[in-house]
Structure formats: C-alpha cells, structure tokens
C-alpha cells in the first residue's frame, strides 16, 4: 500500500495549484498539450513493447487503437482548443432586454481519472487530454492488471509534469479505495458496471460529480438484406480486436433466420482466413489479460455449440476466436458481458424478438450495430433500441470520429466525451447575462399595478 499521507498531500497540492489559476490560461493549456504530444511520440516504442507484453497486442493494433488514437486526439484538441474556449452566445428573451447572454466554459478543478486494462493507453490519455484542455489538474490511477504499460505511463507522467498538476498514483485496490475517499471536483472512471457502482457510491459521500464509462452486452443485428461478405468482415474485426477485450465489441449477433446458416459459414471462413487455422500462431491476435479473466471466459463456452474455435491454452492466456450457434438467453454466455473472443449467434424472425431479447438483458447496451441495406430497417432499429452509440454497416468505427460524443446510457454509463464533448465534460458551463445600463425598463419593478397584461404578452 502506497503511503496514504503522500496520496492525500498530492491531492491537497493539486487543489492549491488549481486555485492559483495557472492552469486556466489558453497558453498554459496549449503548451502542456503540445508537451504531452511530444512525450507520447517519444514513448511510442516503449508503449508498443509494453502492450505486447501485457496484452499480446500487435504493433499495428497498438498504434491504431492506442498510440495513434491518442496522437490524433491531441492533434484535434490542439487545433480547435482556441475555438472551444470562446464563450458561446445564446439568445436573450425580450423580457430581460437590453442584455446579452453567454455560456463560459470554466475548468472543474481537480480530477481523478481511473482507467482500465483493456486499452490502457487510449483510455488513460483520452480523458486526460480533455481534462488538460479544459484547464484542470488531474490524478491518474491505471490498472494493476497491465503492469508494464502502467510503469511506462508512470514514467512518462513523471518525466513531463509536476505532481501538483498531473500526478500518477501507483498501486492496486487499496490505493484506489483511498483515492476515492479524497475530495475531488470530478471523477472519471472507465471499467465494469460493478466497480462503477462502487465509484459512484464513494463519490456521493463528497457530492462529487462522476463520469462513468462502463459496458454492457452490445448487440449486432444482421438483417436478411445485409451484405453478408461485408458484415462478417466487419463483425470479425470488431469482435476479435484485442482478443475481444473491447467495451464496445459486438457482444452477440442476432441474425435473421433466413440467412443464419450462410452467416455462420461465412464468418467461420473469415476467421480462418485472417488468423489461420491456429490463431495462437497469428501475430495479429492478442491474449487475455490474466488467468482469472481467461478462466471466466472459458467457462462461457459451450463446446456443443461451437462452430469455429473453442480452443484455449491457460499457460499462454490464449482463447481462440470462437463462434457459437443456436444460443438462447438460457446459455451462460448470455448472462454477462463476455469481454473476450467468444461470439454467440442467435436467430430472429421479427424485430419484436430483437427488442425483447435486449430488454431481458441486465443493462442497456453501450453500443449497437446494425447491418442492413434498408434505410427503413436502419431507422426502426436505431429508434427502437436504447444504446450509447454505434454504427450502421460497421463496428466500433464511431469511436474514431472525435466529433461524435462517446458514452453509455442507463447502466452502461453516465456522461460522454471525445473531442469537444470531452472538453465540455471536464468544464463547467457558467451562465453569464450582461445587462445594459443605458436603459432600465421599469416593467419588472414594483409597484406592479397595471403591468401584468404586458408581462403576459411578453412571456407567451
């Protein structure tokens, strides 16, 4: 357990530093963001090696989903920060004229950012970038399940920043538990719904606002008119990236009964074509983060329903890309978020079956994917399913657009971020009305006799 007094002192120093207003200026923010970008570029090789050790990630996947994603976020934020900082003018009602009204984006203060193991680079630095852009200070706590990556992040943070501005806290559950007892101005957590509820309960004791990026069983719907060759290519990409350890991965597929057999045959061939008959030999297929998660995922596989895959190696933390057919809600694989390379396939005839299945699962989906060439089908499924965000005729790609807010709904999350939405999430929207003094209408002042009629007209 790291020294509790030292942790508390870091939080205290951050409050003092934030109150000095040093972090508030545009020049400070932009210079720190540029410094972070240079640091990420410098650490690219170290991060890539650490991701390979901890998660078996390929260099390509490490760059696209982690390092390159963060660099793109930084480029976008640096480019638009000055525009984001400008007060937003809004209309002013006639009743309170002459005046003008603005929304000012001001920093929240001291933030705690807790990141998960599955994308330890991007899910640490994306919220940090937003926090820095909005003029805040931040304390970082990464996952102990990816020790090599956490060590590299700690080194980068310690090299670049003073702890009163950006601090890294090493450790495990005890350190996180103690951090949650401290007084922060905002807590940003990415992880499981179970831990998210613990974070929210701890934050409530200090009335600290939270952003929770959680998970859920994200459905993928393949309608009878879908382009199947495209669908299986993109579903396999989205599901088996990072060995399925992606919060927005297609958790299960609901495929129209008329094309179920064809879909199963095509996705089987697709998996073999990209990873080979033994994916453990593929340089492009990752590993499960630890033995505990490996054992949990293996228990979800019903070998009698396996179409392809089903193999695993505990010593190597390997689970083959696996597809299961004829799955129902009674199967274990449908009882929890899989978070691994196992894809259950269910059949449907009517949309009501899709809606009923999703409603019976324990939480609203973080993502939803629809494959159909019909705009009417796309519209009905988007409107009829409550989910955080998603794609039509693709998987996961909505995360690549920083103009789209990313976040869950209901039990899959609270709040959203990325791009301007992230800047906004780490800011307080301060309302300011500037009244003119050259004219003062007496209509709102006592005595009120004879004024109500005029007020009624103005307020309709």
**CA distance linking residue 23 with residue 165, whole number of Å:** 8
Q: Where are the alpha helices (DSSP H) in 161-287?
A: 173-180, 193-205, 228-240, 260-275
Instruction: Dump the DSSP string for 222-234.
Output: E-TTS-HHHHHHH
Measured CA to CA, the distance from residue 153 to residue 345 in angstroms comes to 38
361 and 300 together in one domain: yes
Integer CA distances (angstroms), 46 to 11, 115, 117, 167, in order: 28, 19, 17, 20
Q: What is the pLDDT of residue 1?
A: 61
Asked if 162 and 65 sit in the same domain, the reply is yes
Same domain, 20 and 124: yes
In a domain, 237, yes or no: yes
- Regarding whether 44 and 176 lie in a shared domain, the answer is yes
Nearest to 402 by CA among 103, 92, 170, 122: 122
Q: What is the pLDDT of residue 449?
A: 92
Instruction: Residue 112: give its domain's CATH number.
Output: 3.40.605.10
At residue 363, the pLDDT reads 82
The pLDDT value given to residue 243: 98
Distance CA 151, CA 320 (A): 29
pLDDT at 288: 98
Tokens 């989906």: give the residue.
365
Task: Say if 151 falls within a structural domain.
Answer: yes
Q: Report the sign of the C-alpha dihedral through residues 44, 49, 50, 54, in that order.
A: positive
For residue 169, give both structure tokens: 């806290």
Q: In this structure, what CATH number is given to the domain that contains residue 268?
A: 3.40.309.10
Please name the residues in contact with 298: beta carbons below 8 A apart, sequence gap of 6 or more: 312, 314, 319
Alpha-carbon distances of 170 from 125, 129, 130, 400, rounded to whole Å: 16, 20, 22, 30
Pick from 382, 344, 117: nearest CA to 250? 344
Within this chain, do residues 273 and 210 fall inside the same structural domain, yes or no? no
Q: Are residues 164 and 223 in the same domain?
A: no
Do 84 and 184 share a domain, yes or no? yes
> Has this prediction a pTM greater than 0.85?
yes
pLDDT value at residue 276: 96
Averaged pLDDT, groups of 10, the chain, 460 residues long: 88 98 98 98 98 97 98 98 97 92 98 97 98 98 97 98 97 94 97 94 96 95 98 98 97 98 98 97 97 97 97 97 97 96 98 96 93 97 96 97 95 95 98 94 90 88
**Same-domain pairing of 395 and 423:** no
Quote the domain boundaries for residue 339: 219-407
Is 372 in the same domain as 253?
Answer: yes
Helix (H) or strand (E) holding 323: strand 322-324
What pLDDT does 457 receive? Answer: 87
Residues with catalytic roles:
213, 247
Tokens of 315: 């010593």
**Dihedral, CA atoms, 55, 230, 247, 384, nearest 10 degrees?**
-170
First-last CA distance in the chain: 62
Domain count, the chain: 2
Let me know: does 16 contact 116? Beta carbons within 8 Å. Answer: no
Question: Exposure pattern of 219-254 as b/e (b: 16+ CB <10 Å)?
Answer: bbbbbbebebeebbbbbbbbbbbbbbbbbbbbbbbb
Same structural domain for residues 280 and 145?
no
Q: Are residues 349 and 318 in the same domain?
A: yes
The owner of tokens 């008119």 is 225
Count of residues making up the chain: 460
Residue 223 shares a structural domain with residue 130: no
DSSP 248: T
Written as six digits, the tokens of 348 are 């449907």
Radius of gyration of the chain measured on its C-alpha atoms? 25
In a domain, 455, yes or no: no
Query: What is d(CA 357, CA 329) in angstroms, rounded to the nearest whole number?
Result: 8
Residue 448 lies in a domain: no
């Amino acid at each position: 357990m790291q020294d509790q007094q030292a942790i508390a002192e870091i939080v205290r120093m951050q409050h003092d530093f934030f109150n000095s207003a040093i972090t508030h200026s545009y020049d400070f923010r932009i210079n720190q963001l540029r410094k972070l970008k240079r640091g990420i570029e410098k650490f690219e090789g170290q991060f890539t090696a650490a991701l390979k050790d901890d998660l078996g990630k390929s260099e390509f996947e490490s760059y696209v989903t982690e390092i390159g994603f963060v660099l793109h976020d930084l480029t976008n934020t640096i480019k638009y920060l000055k525009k984001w900082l400008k007060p937003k003018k809004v209309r002013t009602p006639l009743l309170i004229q002459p005046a003008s009204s603005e929304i000012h984006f001001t920093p929240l203060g001291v933030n705690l950012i807790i990141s998960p193991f599955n994308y330890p680079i991007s899910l640490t630095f994306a919220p940090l970038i937003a926090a820095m852009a909005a003029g805040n200070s931040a304390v970082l706590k990464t996952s102990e399940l990816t020790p090599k990556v956490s060590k590299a992040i700690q080194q980068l943070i310690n090299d670049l920043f003073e702890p009163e501005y950006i601090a890294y806290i090493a450790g495990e559950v005890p350190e996180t538990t103690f951090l949650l007892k401290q007084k922060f101005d905002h807590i940003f957590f990415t992880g499981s719904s179970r831990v998210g509820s613990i974070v929210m309960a701890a934050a409530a004791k200090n009335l600290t606002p939270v952003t929770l990026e959680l998970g859920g069983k994200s459905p993928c719907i393949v309608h009878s008119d879908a382009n199947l060759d495209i669908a299986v290519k993109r579903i396999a990409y989205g599901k088996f990236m990072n060995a399925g350890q992606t919060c927005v991965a297609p958790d299960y597929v609901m495929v129209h009964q008329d094309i179920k057999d064809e879909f199963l045959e095509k996705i089987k061939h697709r998996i073999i074509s990209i990873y080979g008959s033994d994916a453990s030999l593929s340089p492009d297929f990752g590993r499960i983060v630890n033995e505990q998660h490996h054992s949990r995922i293996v228990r979800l596989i019903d070998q009698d329903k396996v179409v392809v895959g089903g193999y695993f190696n505990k010593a190597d933390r390997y689970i083959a890309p696996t597809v299961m057919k004829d799955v129902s809600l009674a199967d274990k694989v449908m009882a929890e978020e899989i978070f691994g390379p196992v894809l259950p396939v269910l059949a449907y005839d009517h949309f009501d079956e899709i809606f009923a299945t999703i409603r019976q699962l324990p939480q609203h989906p973080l993502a939803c994917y629809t494959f159909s060439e019909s705009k009417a089908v796309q519209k009905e499924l988007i409107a009829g399913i409550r989910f955080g965000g998603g794609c039509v005729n693709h998987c996961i790609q909505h995360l690549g657009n920083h103009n789209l807010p990313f976040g869950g709904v209901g039990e899959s999350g609270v709040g959203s971020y990325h791009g301007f939405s992230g800047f906004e999430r780490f800011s307080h929207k301060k309302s300011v009305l500037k009244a003119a003094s050259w004219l003062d209408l007496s209509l709102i002042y006592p005595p009120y006799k004879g004024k109500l009629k005029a007020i009624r007209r103005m307020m309709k």
